[in-house]
Chain A
Amino acid sequence: MKIILNHREETFDADTLSVADIIRLKKFTFRMLVTKVNGQVVKVDERDKVFVKDGDNVEVIHLISGG
């Protein structure tokens, strides 16, 4: 499948993957992330239950401390 990941086209060797799979495969190592699929937020505890398919727009946003 082909998806848009953080504004860039990415191809995966699978028909569908969970948001958690994508984080693992793309090695997003930051501890604190916010994930969105087609503009909808996917909360931490939903990442292994929400599946991404061809043409989806996925955003993985990392957050670091300071304020």
Chain B
Amino acid sequence: MCEAIQQIREFLLQKTVGIAGAGGLGSNCAVALARTGVGHLIIADFDVLEVTNLNRQYYFRHQLGIPKVWALKNNINKIDPSINVDAHPILLTAENIPDIFRHCDVLIEAFDKAEMKQMIIETALSQWPDRPLIAASGLAGWGKTEEITIKRFGNFVLAGDDVSETGPWNPPLGPRVAILAGIQANLALEFLLKDFAFKKV
């Protein structure tokens, strides 16, 4: 089994995944991809860590007040120092996305606000029509595990339950957010490992 894991890691070492947002979706997705061995992660988010983020995001209490992308780079490199994390503590816009994510094999939409999701999906689909793009929509609350679906529009894939919007009385919680982040990471692997085959020894 160790040999199998190692072969996957070697294949993924050359791959680059872009992650737009380092909140609940982005931080958990990045860690899952780093553990699997994706060699390069480009992560962008302008936010600093607040105590309310700790209910679902892959950070620790001593990191409060630090830009999330720095904290995430640190956490990933504590798991695996060989993963190259390109951290951008900036607000993503339709103008800077084409430059920041120009070298990605797969792009993950991991924003919080619907208007930001729309902005990056429009920007990415027009800039890179053939590049896999994985977004999430509908993840607030708890339970309703069976209601999570995956919709495919060519290389654009949207995961979520489509209806559970976050709001004052419908907060995002650790388990369901991490499930969606895990689904996004797993979909990314599906694209990244498309041409992978084990060399059985």
Mark A residues whose CB is within 8 Å of B. Answer: 31-34, 36, 39-41, 43-44, 59, 61-67
B71 lies within 8 A of chain A by Cβ:
no
With beta carbons under 8 angstroms apart, the residue of A36, A44, A67 that contacts B118 is A44
**Could you tell me if B162 and A65 are in contact, using CB atoms closer than 8 angstroms?**
no
**For residue A44, which residues in chain B have a CB less than 8 angstroms away from its CB?**
118, 122
User: Can you spell out 16 A-B residue pairs with CB atoms less than 8 angstroms apart?
Assistant: A31-B114, A34-B122, A41-B126, A43-B122, A44-B122, A61-B158, A63-B121, A63-B137, A64-B138, A64-B163, A65-B112, A66-B138, A67-B24, A67-B26, A67-B112, A67-B172
A44-B118, A66-B138 are known; give 10 further A-B pairs, CB within 8 A: A34-B121, A36-B153, A40-B129, A41-B121, A41-B125, A66-B139, A66-B160, A66-B164, A67-B21, A67-B111
Interface centre among A39, A44, A61 (most CB of B within 10 A): A61
Q: Are B122 and A63 in contact (CB under 8 A)?
A: no
Instruction: Say yes or no: is B105 at the interface (Cβ < 8 Å to chain A).
Output: no
Whether A41 contacts B122 by the Cβ 8 Å rule is: yes
With an 8 A cutoff between CB atoms, is B80 at the interface? Answer: no
Give the CA-CA distance A4 to B140 in the complex, in Å.
31
| Chain A residues, Cβ within 8 Å of B135 | 63
**Closest Cβ–Cβ distance, residue A33 to chain B (whole Å):** 7
Least CB distance, A2 to chain B, in whole angstroms: 20
Cα of A32 to Cα of B122 in the assembled complex, Å: 11
Q: Which of B15-34 contact A (CB under 8 A)?
A: 21, 23-26
**B130-157 CB contact bits vs A (8 Å, 1 = yes)?**
0000011111100000000001011000
CB–CB A61/B111 < 8 A: no
* Assembly CA distance A53 to B163 (angstroms): 30
| Inter-chain contact B118/A64, CB cutoff 8 Å | no
Residues of A contacting B122 with CB < 8 Å? Answer: 34, 41, 43-44
Give the docked Cα–Cα distance between A27 and B25 (Å): 30
Closest 8 CB pairs of A and B: A64-B165, A32-B114, A41-B125, A66-B166, A67-B112, A67-B25, A63-B117, A65-B114
**B117 is contacted by which of A32, A40, A41, A59 (Cβ under 8 Å)?**
A32
Indicate with 1 or 0, residue by residue over B44-83, a CB within 8 angstroms of chain A CB atoms. 0000000000000000000000000000000000000000
A63 to chain B minimum Cβ distance, whole angstroms, is: 5
* A44-B23 Cα distance, complex, nearest whole Å: 26
Are the C-beta atoms of A61 and B153 separated by less than 8 Å?
yes
- A34 and B23 in contact (CB under 8 A), knowing A66-B138, A67-B111? no
| B25, B126, B164 — most chain A CB neighbours (10 Å) | B126
